[in-house]
Structures are given as C-alpha cells and as structure tokens.
Amino acid sequence: MAGSGSGPLNEIGFGTWAWGNQLIWDYNPPEDDERLAATFNQALRSGLRLIDTADSYGTGRLNGRSELLLGEFIEAQPEHLRRGLMVATKLAPFPWRLGRRGLERAFHASRKRLKGHLNRVQLHWSTARYAPWQEVDLLDGLADLVEQGLVAELGVSNVGPQRLAWMQSRLAERNLSLRSVQVQCSLLAPDDLVLQELLQQCEALGIEVLAYSPLAFGVLSCPPGSESEPTTWLRRRLYRRLLPASLNLRRTMNAIAISRGVSMVQVALNWCRANGSTPIPGIRTPEQAQDVASALTWTLTPEEKRSLDLERKNCRERMPANPFQSR
C-alpha cells in the first residue's frame, strides 16, 4: 500500500479495550488490576501520552471498567506526569441514545469514571449504514459539548471517506473540526483502497488517523515457529485462520526485527506510522508498554516498507472488517 512515509512520522498511543474485557481478553480483576496499574505507570514513564478508551469497554457487569481503572491510575500520578496527557474516550451510539442530547448522560458518566481527565470525546462508530439520521443529532450534540467547553476536542471512529467528508463539512459550519478518526489499520487490515483513501483525505484535512488493532489481535507479534494459542475461543478461531495465511508476512517481519534487534511488535507499529497513522495498540503488561514505546526510537527504511507491503498484498486472509465501518 502506498503510504505517506515521506512526511513526519506520527507518535504512538495505547488502547485499553482489554481492561475489563473477559470475553476476548480473559480479564480477571484480582489478578489483572495490579499489573495494569504497573503497565500504566510504565507507559507514562516511557513517554506514551495518548490514551484511548470507551464507555463500552468492559463486558457485562464490568461495563465502563476501562474508564474506571484509567481514572484511578491517572489520579494516582504526580502532577508533572498528568500534564500533557491526551485522554480520549468513545461514546457508543446505542439505539436508545437518540436526539441531540442522546450522548449527554453517557458523556458525564464517562467523565466521572475518568475523574475529570478527559480531553477528547469520540463517536464510537458510524450509524450511517442503518440509521444515518441518528448520527446527525449525535454529532451535533458532541459538537455542543465542545462549544460549551466541557471537552476540548472531537473525534470519530469507524468512519469512511465519504461520511468523514460530510462530518467535517457539517462541523465547519460551526467553525469546528475533527481532531482524529479511528480506523482499523495494520498489515492484516481489510479493504486497502478505502484505508488508503482515508489516509490521504485525513492528511489533506489535517485530521490525525488513529490505527486501532495495529497488531491484529496479537497475530502480528507471533514469530514463525513460536506461535501459541490464546486463552479465549474467539481469538483462537482468529489465530487458526490468520497464522497460516500470514506466515510469509511474519517471516519478513521477523527478519527485519532480528536485523535491527527489535520486536515484531515494533515492526508492525512502525509500518502503521510509515503510512501516516498513529497506532494505538492495546497493552496489558509493563514489558509490552516498554516495547511499544521503543518503536518510537527508529523507523522503517523504504526498502523494509516495500518488502512488507509486498507480503501484505500476497496475504490471502485478512482481519474481519468492522460491520459498523461506513463508506
């Protein structure tokens, strides 16, 4: 895939989807919370500043757990580490969240869980495919929150080029603009043409592209011959499909990693950066936080990127597309 690697490379943030998610990430509060606190501490001390969460992160009775933990972890930090953080949450456009004030209660609940540490609010997914009228009101309502000074920035997620152009135009009528758009972006992401169009569009508009699932649920971190099955059945199903199909791609990634003395994780993240996006990988251990931050210390050469692009193009299986992704 052609990229915008000739320009300045983007930074790296981290996501917190796994913090509270039992179904896919096997979250267990008694075992995980202390480790997640240490992970957060390491992330900040390693220089990671952009943090992504959502009001729907956390399964069942643990709904909102990610925001709750994040609020506690931030509050425990000294002031000098809190300064400069960019905390972004996403609000889900559930069917019952209707009208211009449909997300207002959810916003205040998120801000309370985050203990007031909230810089950017994002629409979690587009309803353009099934209820475009709902999205119009919700976007207007989020813009109201920015105008009222309740949050500094506005972003969206799972929005394609056509819908993004409409959103940006509507906000421009109020002298507002989107700060970021999240999209699935990785060496195994689906729909190359739409992704490339979105990257080019955002570069022209000055909108940051946040790359979620940059490691394809961990598949891209598995060296050939050292694969191990995940603990949850959903990820096991994905690995059984993607690991064989991505073997040559992962061999190329591993060769680059070995030659540089880095991890495959760093190779995957720097491919995203070379294409003009800011990857936001999920982290669950201090070691992962340190590894992710280390990707900021180097960049892919044009030759390395071309070799990855070639193997990516030849990969016959990809990650599933998000069903809420709009055009």
Asked if 281 and 296 touch (Cβ cutoff 8 Å), the reply is no
Asked if 184 and 322 touch (Cβ cutoff 8 Å), the reply is yes
Distance CA 212, CA 159 (A): 13
Tell me how far CA of residue 136 lies from CA of 9, 126, 149, 254, in angstroms: 33, 10, 21, 45
The pLDDT value given to residue 9: 65
Range 130-155 average pLDDT: 96
Q: How confident is the model at residue 53 (pLDDT cuts 50, 70, 90)?
A: very high
Instruction: Check whether 273 has a pLDDT greater than 90.
Output: yes
Range 262-267 average pLDDT: 98
**Per the CATH hierarchy, to which homologous superfamily does domain 14-223+263-298 belong?**
NADP-dependent oxidoreductase domain (3.20.20.100)
The residues annotated as belonging to the active site are: 57
The pLDDT value given to residue 61: 87
Range 59-85 average pLDDT: 93
* 93 alpha-carbon distance from chain centroid: 18
The pLDDT value given to residue 59: 82
The pLDDT value given to residue 4: 38
**Domain extent listing, the chain:** 14-223+263-298
Structure tokens at 297: 């210390």
Which residue is listed with tokens 């919370």?
Answer: 33
Least confident of 114-118, 193-197, 284-288: 193-197
The pLDDT value given to residue 313: 94
Q: What percent of the chain lies above the pLDDT cut of 90?
A: 85
Distance CA 170, CA 168 (A): 5
Q: How confident is the model at residue 226 (pLDDT cuts 50, 70, 90)?
A: confident
pLDDT in tens, 239-253: 999 999 999 999 999
The pLDDT value given to residue 2: 40
Look up residue 115 and give its DSSP letter: T
Asked if 7 and 276 touch (Cβ cutoff 8 Å), the reply is yes
Residue 269 CB neighbour total at 10 angstroms: 28
The pLDDT value given to residue 213: 97
Range 289-303 average pLDDT: 97
Range 272-286 average pLDDT: 97
The pLDDT value given to residue 67: 98
Instruction: Check whether 5 has a pLDDT greater than 60.
Output: no
Q: Is 195 helix (H, G, I), strand (E, B) or coil?
A: helix
pLDDT in tens, 205-220: 999 999 999 999 999 9
Instruction: Check whether 89 has a pLDDT greater than 80.
Output: yes
Contacts of 165 (CB under 8 A, 6+ apart): 201
Range 281-297 average pLDDT: 98
What string of DSSP letters covers 98-111? Answer: -STTTTHHHHHHHH
Distance CA 53, CA 44 (A): 16
Asked if 10 and 277 touch (Cβ cutoff 8 Å), the reply is yes
Instruction: Check whether 3 has a pLDDT greater than 70.
Output: no
